Each structure stands twice: as structure tokens, then as C-alpha cells.
Structure 1
Amino acid sequence: MEGLERIRYWLKEQGYDGIILSRRDNYTWITKGNTNHVVQNCEVGVAALFIRENTVDIIADSSDSARIAKEQNSLEGNRVLVHWYESMEEFLADYLKNLNVVSDTGVAGTRNVQKELVTLRMQLTEEDLKNYQMIGAQCAGIVEQICKEAKPGQRENEIANRLRILCIEKGISPDCVLVGADDRILNYRHPMPTDKRIEKSLLCVLGGEKRGLNISLTRMVYFAPVPEELQEKYEKLRYIFACMQLVMKEGMSYSEYFGKIEKLYEEAGYKDEWKLHHQGGPTGYGCREFIVKPSTKGCIHAGQAYAWNPTITGVKCEETTFLGKDGLLTFTRTKEWPRKTIATPYGDFDVADILQR
């Protein structure tokens, strides 16, 4: 079922007359890749969709109305112009008068149903899946290229900027770029890049978005033999990560799933390490649609994408995967990066190695 069809079915089921969508993520989801923003680092765009049972209006002010209606209007919505000097809030309040309308922002006093929309958009279509495979391969290829080109003596910021450039060249928005070297990998779970020079080790993380779909992955490099203690940690983490991927099944509650994560850390001898960094969660049209916690409600479902990212101090595993009816698909796996097959009680799973240079 396509996004527009899902929205309309949901509106009818809930008894609403319509919905206003103005968040960038929802606009891109419902239009299959269109955008409604001008400023890059904003959550809400400059155009809104007003979706009803049989109509779609595309509402924007005079600065962007013509462009959006012609170039970012795959739903062929009716153009509704608001003058730039008028209040959009007041316009919508009048436009929606006497209608039972909800929205993804709470604009004009409407009920904010963003949480419900996240649930609606998490189930990926065949087109989403095809796009995800392409975007995942591109993101993984970029990160792995960066890691193979990096040299001791380079600054973290040099690596990060090169990564951003390669992403932008392929139309990928590098929303999260983490680059850490040596002791900063040991000290910080989120090593924002600095001018520190690489000595022996490098961690590179990308959260990239293209066509609304989000990819997350991590790769590690060592410019010397990997220390025995660190390799031991990584082997234990790889086992945790492989189990986290393979234990997922349709209908498993997130609370049960997280209980298994806690047990895996404890069995590995790192009982409290999960408390030092989140473990990830479902992804798709949000970097994480939500972070899974011990108290998270809801269930794992086939047909959805996941980005789990367990850590033990100094090492991290992270990929973006898809739980299909016939098994697990890794969007961020390439043939160019060394991997090791990890045997678990739930089956075997290939996990990225630390690249030794």
C-alpha cells in the first residue's frame, strides 16, 4: 500500500477530514522523494500538503509556491498561494475552519499526530526497498573508500570533510558524520571530528539521507596490528551484533528484544556497557524512527528497516538492515570490505572486520 493510500485509509478509520503535512520527512515520504525545504538544516519545510479523501492541496507562500507546485508536486496537488507577508498560521486556521483536521506539527491548533505517522511510514514499499539497496551501497562505498584512503597524520576534520564532499557528489545528505582517532575513540561514543591527527586508529560513522531514506553505518581502521585487548572486545561485540540482527522476528516486543540485548552484554562480560550508548532502533524516513529502550512499547515487524549499533568502549558495530519475510538483508554490505562470519544460536551473520592497513 502506497503512502497516500495509507494516509487516506487511516484518516477514514480515525474519522478525520484531512491532514496537514509540512515536516520534511513526511513530505518526502508521501511524495516518493520530493522535497519542500529551502534551508537545509530545518525540520519543517516551506510547503505543506493538505490531504483529504479525494483531494490534495499544496500550500506555500509566494516565494516558493510556483516552484514547489511545478517541480516538487508528484501528487499533482492543487496549488494554494499564501502571500509571503501573510501569517501562514492564521491562513490555515481560516482555511481549515469547521473541519476535523490533524497535522504533523500541531500547526493552527490542530492535533499533532507525528507518532502515528511514524508507524504508518515504517512499512517499506518495493520501491523503498529498491532505493534503499542503492543508497546503502553508495553510503557504504563512500565510508569504506574514505577509510582506505586515510593516512596517519591526517586530521579528523580532513577525513570528515572528504566524506561530506563524496556524499554531496552523489546526492546524499551527510546528516551525521563522526570521525575519531586513537584515544578519542576510547573516550567518546560520539567523536565529533576535530583537528586531532590520526596516529594508529580511526573510527568513521555516517548517517546519510537520500530520497528521504536514512542509512547508518560504522567502519574502523587500524594502522598497526590491532591490540589483543581491543580485538577481544571486538570479537565479543561482533557476536552481540550478530545476535541482535538474527534474533529479530515478526511480532517480538521491543521490551523482550531489549532484554535479550542486556543478556548478551552480560554474557560477554560487559554487563553495563549498554548503558553508555543507545543501541539503535528502526530506521527509514527518520535516522532512527525512535530509539529502542527497555521500556519501549510496540513490536518488531517484517518489512521494516533497522539500524542497530552496539558498542563496547573502543569498538562499535553498525549497519542498516531490512527484516524481510524471507530473512535479513544488509543494505550497507559491500564486497570490498573484509568481514567475518559469526556463528550464533540463531544462525550465521557476516560482520565487518577492523581494517588493518
Structure 2
Amino acid sequence: MSETVEKLARVRKYLKTHGLEGIVLLSRANFAWLSGGGDSHIVSQSERGFGALVVTAKQALLVANRIEIDRIANEETVSAFTPKSFPWIQSLADALPKILGANIKKFASDDADGTGLQKLPGDFIYECRAELCEPEIRRYKALGRDCSLVMETVCRQTQVGDSEFQVEADMAKHLLARGIQPYVLLVAFDQRILRYRHPTPTINHLKRCGMLVICGARGGLIACLTRLIHFGPIPEDLQKRHESVCRVDGAFWNATKVGTPYGKVLQAGIDQYKKEGFAKEWELHHQGGPTGYAGRDIVATPDEKRVVLDKQAVAWNPSITGTKAEDTFIVDGANRIVLTASSPDWPMTKVTVGGEAFSRPSILVR
């Protein structure tokens, strides 16, 4: 079964479950998912793309205005969808009734604002998108390798005196050269690592310590990782904190088992924070959760009831003031596929949590 055939079957099962005539997928994330990696964006800061995928029990359509229709139809992975265009002087909301027909009120959309459609009922991500198929896993592995390579390249090239802006630009350059969109790029040097969990880059110049974060997107899939570098010997307190955050990360990984509620996985990490002597640190930043076509499909909270799925991508990001751990992996039965694994020459910290041994990236000493 091809990727598109499998996904259309999931969508049509969703339609039947919720009593819908069809759905209109407008978000870039869902366009990429259903098309198998297609790109509908023009404006990089917009979550809504410039093409829509429409699915009914019998039809699969690509809908876009006349400016965009040929490029999307010719260059993106949409051969399974019949193209339908409308004049650029019309809005999509005006064009949809004619394209969809009389039963438009029985259609739903992932971005219903201004369309006259109802919002997608239920949990579309969990019912259709969360479990990755084999072609997606292959693309995700390649993306993860490339993001890790970019991260390590920039970490090894960064010098004392560089600004956070410079390092951000270096990461973006290397990502874009590989067809990867910078979804999130964070950089903090020295005191800013201690102050901010989401350090957007500034003119601040590197003296000793740097933290770099990449969330890179290609074909809609997003891979996330964090690494730290230090010029000169690592202070003892920072080293201990990093070992602690690696054990917290290990607790998250160890608890991420098929069928386990994400709230329970989060609790395993919270318990490890307490064991490490940093009981309140988890309250200073979200800890991550399942990912895929969004930075996080769910940000895990203590009362989250949705469970870990097989073939689901996950990225935990525990932090203890001054340091952080983050990588992306896919749950693979009782195993895991680490997408953003470090190269053999990156230093690693070995920890054991819940009877399971982990090697997590150390702070790179320059």
C-alpha cells in the first residue's frame, strides 16, 4: 500500500466516524502529511498554506488559485489529487462552495476561519497523523541525520567573540543548503543560558558557554535537538547539572512506552528531577512530548490522558538552569529509533535510569 493510499484510507475512516462529507486541509503541516512531504507555503511565517487538499469518500482534490496551482501540481507530491483552480481575485472561502457543492456544511477544516466550514471534530492528529508510516520514517531519519550534522558543524565552528546572531545565521545557512526550513533556532551564551529557557538570539557575544537549539523542518516533518559547548574546563557545578539533566532525560525515554499516558511519562521525569535535587526545575519550562509535523503535537502535562503510540515521534527537552537535553526519536515497539543521534566523535554522558543504560550528548569542550 502506497503512503498516499494508506493516508487517504485513514482520512476516510475519520470522515465516516464523524459523519462528515469531507475535509479541507489548509495547514502546511497537514498538507505535507497527507501529500507525503509536499510544500504549500509561500509566506514562511504563516501556518496556512496556499493550497488545500480536499478529501471526500470518492474524491481527492488539490485546490489552489491560478497563481499557485501549476507549481504545486507539477513540483509537489500531489499526483494522487485532482487539481482544481479558481481565479486569484477570489478568496478560497468564495471558491469553496462551488468546488465542494451543496453539502458544504458537512465539510470540516483544520483552519476553518473565514471558510464557512466547521472545525475538525475529534482528535485529527491522533486519529490520522500521529502514527508514522514507513516512507515517513525513512524521510525522518534523513532529516534527523542532517539536523545533527548541521548542529555539530556549527558547534565546532563557533568561536569566542561570535554573536548569537552570527551563530543563528550559520545554523540557518547550513539548514537551508540541505532543504531544511529553520522552524526554531535558539542561541544563548553565558549568562543568558541561566536566565531564559527560550533564548531567541541577540547581539550577545560568546565568552565561555553556548547553548544551541535546532528545530528543522523538511517535507513537513520536524526534528529537534539541543547541544552545549564550553571553552575551557567545564565548571564542576555545571558538569553535575548536566549529568542530572541527562538522567532526567533518561527517565523520560525509559517511561515512553507504547500505551503509557503522556501524563504518566511526565511524572517519571518529575520524579527524577526530585531525585536529582532539582524538584522545581520542571516548572520553569515545558518538558516536551510527541512531535512529527509540529514542534510538539502535545505538550505533556500531568493530566494528559493520550497515550504513547507505536511509530510516534517524540522529543523531550528537560532543562536544569544552565543546561538542557533534547533529541528526537521514534517509538518502535519496545525499542526506539534515535533520529538526531550524535556522531561517534561527540562526547557522551553515560547514565542508567530504570535499569536502562543511556548515552546522552555531553557538553562539547572546545
Q: Report the TM-score when normalising by structure 2.
A: 0.94
- Secondary structure of the structure 2 residue equivalent to 1:242: helix
What is the one-letter code of the residue matched to 1:276?
L
Match in the other structure for 1:221:
229
Work out whether residues 247 and 346 of structure 1, in 8 Å CA contact, stay in contact via their aligned partners in 2: no
Of the three residues 230, 244, 251, the one matched with 2:252 is 244
Q: Among the aligned pairs, what percent are the same residue?
A: 31
Residue 62 of structure 1 and its aligned partner are, at CA, apart by 1.7
Work out whether residues 257 and 334 of structure 2, in 8 Å CA contact, stay in contact via their aligned partners in 1: no
Deviation per CA, 1:80-105, whole angstroms, max 9, x where unpaired? 22111123212213443224211111
Match in the other structure for 1:112:
119
Match in the other structure for 1:126:
134
Match in the other structure for 2:159:
151
What does 1:1-357 correspond to in 2, within 5 Å?
2-72=6-76, 74-96=78-100, 97-99=102-104, 100-107=106-113, 108-113=115-120, 116-119=123-126, 120-333=128-341, 334-357=343-366
- Secondary structure of the structure 2 residue equivalent to 1:320: strand
Partners of 1:114 and 1:294 lie apart in 2 by 24
Residue 16 of structure 1 and its aligned partner are, at CA, apart by 1.4
Q: Structure 2: 5+ residue runs without aligned partners?
A: none
Deviation per CA, 1:274-301, whole angstroms, max 9, x where unpaired? 0001100101111111211112231112
What is the one-letter code of the residue matched to 2:354?
P
Partners of 2:79 and 2:21 lie apart in 1 by 18
Partners of 1:115 and 1:94 lie apart in 2 by 27
Work out whether residues 42 and 49 of structure 2, in 8 Å CA contact, stay in contact via their aligned partners in 1: yes
In the comparison of the two structures, how many residue pairs are matched?
A: 357
What is the one-letter code of the residue matched to 1:21?
L
Deviation per CA, 1:190-243, whole angstroms, max 9, x where unpaired? 111111111011111001001111000000011011111111111111111111
Residue 115 of structure 1 and its aligned partner are, at CA, apart by 6.4
What is the one-letter code of the residue matched to 2:250?
A
What is the one-letter code of the residue matched to 2:109?
S
My pick for the range that moved more, 19-28 or 90-99, is 90-99
Residue 79 of structure 1 and its aligned partner are, at CA, apart by 2.1
Work out whether residues 133 and 331 of structure 1, in 8 Å CA contact, stay in contact via their aligned partners in 2: yes
My pick for the range that moved more, 225-234 or 5-14, is 5-14
- Secondary structure of the structure 1 residue equivalent to 2:225: strand
Partners of 1:289 and 1:351 lie apart in 2 by 24
Partners of 1:118 and 1:42 lie apart in 2 by 19
Q: Which runs of 4+ in 1 moved over 3 A?
A: 93-96
Partners of 1:270 and 1:185 lie apart in 2 by 17
My pick for the range that moved more, 116-125 or 203-212, is 116-125
Q: Report the TM-score when normalising by structure 1.
A: 0.96
What is the one-letter code of the residue matched to 1:47?
G
Partners of 1:63 and 1:345 lie apart in 2 by 56
Partners of 1:346 and 1:353 lie apart in 2 by 21
What is the one-letter code of the residue matched to 1:271?
A
Partners of 2:9 and 2:42 lie apart in 1 by 27
Partners of 1:103 and 1:57 lie apart in 2 by 14
Work out whether residues 103 and 114 of structure 1, in 8 Å CA contact, stay in contact via their aligned partners in 2: no
Q: Structure 1: 5+ residue runs without aligned partners?
A: none
Partners of 2:121 and 2:164 lie apart in 1 by 37
What is the one-letter code of the residue matched to 2:120?
V
Partners of 2:36 and 2:99 lie apart in 1 by 26
Partners of 2:148 and 2:83 lie apart in 1 by 39
